[in-house]
Amino acid sequence: MAAQALEIARRAEKDAMKALKVVEEATVHREIMVGRFDVVDLRLDRVESQLTVHKRLLEALRETQVKQGKKIEDGFSMVAVGMSQIAAQIANVEHEIREDKGKDKA
């Protein structure tokens, strides 16, 4: 009877150690994901700042165009290029997020 109880206790300890390992691995995985999302968040903040700057530049160019009464095509094309680069960066971040979600499911 005592031998059976000892064997049950050993199995329970072994199962508890396995469970602890799984918890530790899950904690590490969670910390990695938090780190990834922090990086994505920082990148999105940077993109948002760039977008704000380009919007202000566009507004200033429009005001200048109205004041001068002529087109400023070069300025608008520079802003358009900058905004398309920002759109590409946003698309890259969205792609990375989808990849990270895919890795989580795997």
Residue-range domain boundaries for the chain = 2-105
- 26 three-state secondary structure: helix
> Is 70 exceeded by the pLDDT of residue 21?
yes
Q: Determine the pLDDT at residue 24.
A: 95
Q: What is the largest CA-CA distance in the chain?
A: 99
- 4 three-state secondary structure: helix
45 Cβ partners below 8 Å, 6+ apart?
none
Question: How open is the CA angle 103-15-29, to the nearest 5 degrees?
Answer: 20
39-49 pLDDT tens trace: 888 988 988 89
48-63 pLDDT tens trace: 898 898 889 888 888 8
Say how many residues make up the chain.
106
pTM score: 0.51
User: At residue 71, what are phi and psi to the nearest 5 degrees?
Assistant: -80, 150
